[in-house]
């Protein structure tokens, strides 16, 4: 019986088969295209000027939302089979019809913009995207401004962003091109007003305006006034400002002279340290003209007393300069920066554990009191992920704090997001790809936690990383070029380098020749280096500052601090305008 059943199954399988003609769809399109060319079985005709294109409505509707809407509605074209389109190139329409039947089209520099324009109008969306990709890949100095205007006109948002980014990043070369000279004064004003214009200094913007003026003589005084307002005049040198007033086209208008005098007055007030400057022309400096600098907040001085100094290292003037002091003599706090502000979080005020948060707006030199954390703590660390500040670790009285809190600056609110798997005091923290790395710390008063606790803020889950052995305490860690640098030792092999993408370690690197601990550190990404400052050696606070260059695994000396300082985790990097004309 079993043998007969197997035989019956085999016969049934042999009596049926699945036939699939994988080339049928291609064959149908080829046949339909041949019919179209011969005028066979077509059901609509597209008219452009005197040219006629017999087509199959279903084919056009499959490729174009424009034709789909036309042929599936009660419009006249749907019933009569005659479609009339005006103001397009018939050769371009023929290319789109050929594409509808063949799935292929040749895009080149000669036809890309006109093809995109017609495809956008007739809603051939795949062709629109293909043309945008082609144009973007062929952006150059001579065409980026034209592409920018074209993309804006035809609502091609991705192409617009690409052309804008290109034209801003290459501004000093773009302004030498013919397209720049052909900008209208309103287009030029919009271009020159952008914060992201990449220039070495504001003088480059001024020079570009002078070039444009040499090629455009038909502007009036009000137009020139508008353009001068787009140049951030008070960031020009005083000598250049004075020479600007001598240009006839400028000096003929009193409002232009008033603008220059206002800029000169602003320079004087800023140079004298006055913070009440309010003027129409007082725009912020371009982002590209701002230097990335290291800031050191608070700490302990040579006499072991808690200080409130806030200092930054000016790499142009090669000296340490001061910001306004922190509001209270805190110790054991954490520091981070977000949206042009430095945050001083928690700590201890004399014998009282603090939950307070202070925000320093360094552009306007103002301290602000923010919402308190949910719990007070000291010897914790903080870092920024996205637009939120995360705080982890720390202690309160005799207890270690397990709660990890996040701060939303826009709402001024703290939220407890999770608990540390292992509560620790004095950990280092670093961030990478929306993950918070809580590194080492003390798990008891006498025991060092030897691993990294990693919190994935997207998946809201923890993992324990044991790749890097953590044997020391109270060290900074930071992220540079995708690697986490753990500055946990001194001398040879004093820096451990962790690659979070591959969960592996690079060969250890040398710590500075100056033995130090409890020091401040900051990554200066624009210069691809790490700065360290202050710290302790043999229980003595240090004034020395050094730079570590990861590519060469070498150290160099920086300008010494004005006073000895020992800190822990109180170094951050910010972007600050350093001049000219202010040094």
CATH topology of domain 287-577: Neuraminidase (2.120.10)
Q: Is 144 exposed, middle or buried (0-12, 13-18, 19+ CB in 10 A)?
A: buried
Band (pLDDT 50/70/90 cuts) for residue 2 is very low
- Poorest-pLDDT segment among 149-153, 299-303, 387-391, 541-545: 299-303
Contact 518, 533 (CB under 8 A): no
CB 556 within 8 A of CB 547: yes
Residue reference for tokens 């004309």? 581
**Run of H or E including 520:** strand 520-524
> Whole-prediction pTM value?
0.81
Distances (CA, A) of 506 to 68, 295, 475: 58, 28, 19
The per-residue pLDDT for 274 is 55
Output the pLDDT for position 421.
Answer: 98
d(CA 418, CA 435): 13
Q: Indicate the SS3 state at residue 12.
A: helix
CA–CA separation, 503 and 499 (whole Å): 6
Start and end residues for every CATH 3.30.710.10 domain found in the chain:
24-138
Q: What is the mean pLDDT of residues 364-388?
A: 96
Q: What pLDDT, on a 0 to 100 scale, did the predictor assign at position 3?
A: 45
| Unique residue bearing structure tokens 């060290």 | 475
Query: Partners of 406 in the beta sheet?
Result: 390, 415
24-138: CATH number: 3.30.710.10
Q: Which of 452-456, 549-553, 577-581 has the lowest mean pLDDT?
A: 577-581
Predicted confidence at residue 581, as pLDDT, reads 67
pLDDT for res 284: 83
78: confidence class by pLDDT, cuts 50, 70, 90: low
pLDDT digits (tens, 9 = 90+) for 477-533: 999 999 999 998 777 778 999 999 999 999 999 888 778 889 999 999 999 999 999
pLDDT digits (tens, 9 = 90+) for 272-291: 755 554 544 457 889 999 99
Q: Where in the chain is the domain with CATH 2.120.10.80?
A: 287-577
Cα–Cα distance for residue pair 289/164, rounded to 1 Å: 19
Distance CA 164, CA 427 (A): 42
Per-residue confidence band for 132, with pLDDT thresholds at 50, 70 and 90: very high
Q: What are phi and psi of 542, to 5 degrees?
A: -110, 155
Burial of 420 (0-12, 13-18, 19+ CB in 10 A): buried
pLDDT over 70 at 569, yes or no: yes
Tell me the CA distances in angstroms from 152 to 156, 166, 304, one per residue in order. Answer: 6, 15, 61
Q: Is 87 exposed, middle or buried, given 0-12, 13-18 or 19+ CB atoms closer than 10 A?
A: exposed
pLDDT at site 77: 61
What is the predicted pLDDT for the residue at 278? 52
| Whole-angstrom distance, CA of residue 389 vs CA of residue 386 | 8
Determine the average pLDDT of the residues in 159-176. Answer: 97
Q: In the chain, where does the domain assigned CATH 1.25.40.420 lie?
A: 183-271
Tokens of 103: 């799935």
Residues in the chain: 583
Q: Residue 311: left if φ>0, alpha if ψ -120 to 50, beta else—which one?
A: beta
Task: Say how far apart CA 558 and CA 23 lie, in whole Å.
Answer: 71
How far apart are alpha carbons 381 and 424 in whole angstroms?
Answer: 11
Structural domain 183-271, CATH architecture:
Alpha Horseshoe (1.25)
pLDDT exceeds 60 at position 60: yes
pLDDT of residue 493: 74
- Confidence bin at 116 (pLDDT 50/70/90): very high
Closest CA to 472 of 488, 484, 459, 483: 488
Average pLDDT, the chain: 90
140 compared with 510, residue with greater pLDDT: 140
Tokens 């209208």 found at: 184
pLDDT at residue 13, as a whole number: 60
Collapse the DSSP code of 525 into the 3-class scheme (helix H, G, I; strand E, B; otherwise coil) and give the result: helix
Whole-number pLDDT of residue 302: 80
On whether the CB atoms of residues 443 and 422 are closer than 8 A, the answer is: yes
Supply the DSSP string of 91-134, one letter for each residue: HHHHHHHHHHHHS-----TTTHHHHHHHHHHHT-HHHHHHHHHH
More confident residue, 42 or 191: 191
**β 44-48/82-84 pair status:** parallel
User: What confidence tens digit (pLDDT) does each residue in 193-207 have?
Assistant: 999 999 999 999 999
| Selected residue with higher pLDDT from 79 and 225 | 225
Q: What is the pLDDT of residue 478?
A: 96
Q: What letters, b where the CB count within 10 A reaches 16 and e where it falls short, cover 542-579?
A: bbbbbbbebeeeebeebbbbeebbbbbbbbbbbbbbbb
């Amino acid at each position: 019986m079993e043998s007969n059943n197997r035989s019956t199954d085999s016969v049934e399988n042999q009596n049926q088969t699945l036939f699939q003609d994988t080339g049928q769809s291609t064959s149908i399109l080829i046949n339909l295209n041949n019919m179209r060319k011969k005028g066979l079985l077509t059901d609509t005709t597209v008219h452009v000027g005197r040219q006629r294109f017999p087509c199959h409505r279903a084919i056009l509707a499959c490729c174009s939302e424009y034709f789909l809407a036309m042929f599936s509605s009660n419009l006249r074209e749907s019933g009569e089979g005659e479609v009339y389109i005006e103001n397009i190139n018939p050769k371009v329409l023929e290319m789109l019809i050929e594409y509808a039947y063949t799935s292929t089209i040749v895009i080149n520099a000669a036809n890309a913009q006109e093809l995109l324009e017609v495809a956008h109008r007739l809603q051939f969306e795949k062709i629109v995207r293909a043309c945008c990709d082609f144009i973007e890949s062929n952006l150059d100095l001579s065409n980026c401004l034209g592409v920018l205007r074209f993309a804006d006109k035809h609502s091609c948002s991705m192409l617009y962003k690409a052309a804008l980014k290109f034209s801003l990043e290459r501004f000093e070369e773009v302004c030498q091109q013919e397209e720049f000279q052909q900008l209208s004064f309103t287009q030029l004003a919009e271009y020159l007003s952008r914060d992201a214009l990449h220039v070495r200094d504001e003088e480059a913007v001024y020079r570009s305006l002078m070039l444009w003026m040499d090629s455009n003589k038909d502007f009036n005084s009000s137009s020139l006034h508008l353009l001068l307002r787009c140049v951030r005049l008070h960031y020009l040198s005083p000598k250049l400002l004075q020479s600007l007033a001598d240009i006839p086209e400028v000096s003929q208008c009193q409002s232009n002279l008033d603008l220059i005098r206002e800029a000169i007055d602003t320079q004087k007030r800023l140079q004298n340290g006055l913070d009440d400057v309010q003027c129409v022309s007082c725009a912020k400096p371009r982002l590209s003209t701002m230097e990335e600098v290291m800031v050191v907040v608070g700490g302990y001085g040579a006499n072991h007393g808690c200080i409130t100094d806030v200092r930054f290292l000016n790499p142009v003037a090669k000296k340490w300069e001061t910001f306004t002091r922190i509001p209270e003599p805190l110790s054991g706090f954490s520091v981070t920066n977000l949206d042009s502000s430095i945050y001083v979080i928690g700590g201890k005020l004399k014998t009282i554990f603090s939950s307070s948060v202070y925000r320093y707006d360094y552009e306007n030199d103002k301290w602000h009191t923010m919402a308190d954390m949910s719990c007070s703590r000291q010897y914790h660390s903080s870092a920024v992920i996205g637009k939120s500040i995360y705080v982890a670790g720390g202690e309160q009285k005799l207890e270690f704090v397990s709660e990890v809190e996040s701060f939303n600056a826009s709402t001024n609110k703290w939220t407890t997001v999770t608990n540390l798997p292992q509560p620790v005091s004095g950990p280092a923290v670093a961030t990478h790809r929306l993950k918070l790395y809580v590194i080492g710390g003390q798990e008891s008063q006498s025991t060092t936690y030897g691993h990294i606790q990693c919190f994935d803020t997207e998946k809201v889950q923890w993992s324990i990383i044991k790749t890097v052995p953590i044997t020391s305490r109270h060290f900074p860690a930071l992220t540079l070029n995708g690697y986490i640098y753990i500055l946990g030792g001194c001398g040879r092999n004093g820096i451990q380098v962790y690659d979070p993408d591959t969960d592996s370690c690079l060969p250890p690197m040398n710590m500075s020749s100056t033995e130090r601990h409890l020091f401040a550190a900051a990554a200066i990404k624009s210069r691809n280096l790490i700065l360290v400052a202050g710290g302790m050696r043999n229980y003595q606070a240090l004034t020395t500052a050094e730079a570590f260059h990861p590519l060469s695994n070498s150290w160099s000396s920086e300008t010494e601090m004005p006073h000895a300082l020992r800190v822990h985790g109180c170094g951050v990097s910010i972007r600050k305008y350093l001049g000219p004309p202010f040094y």
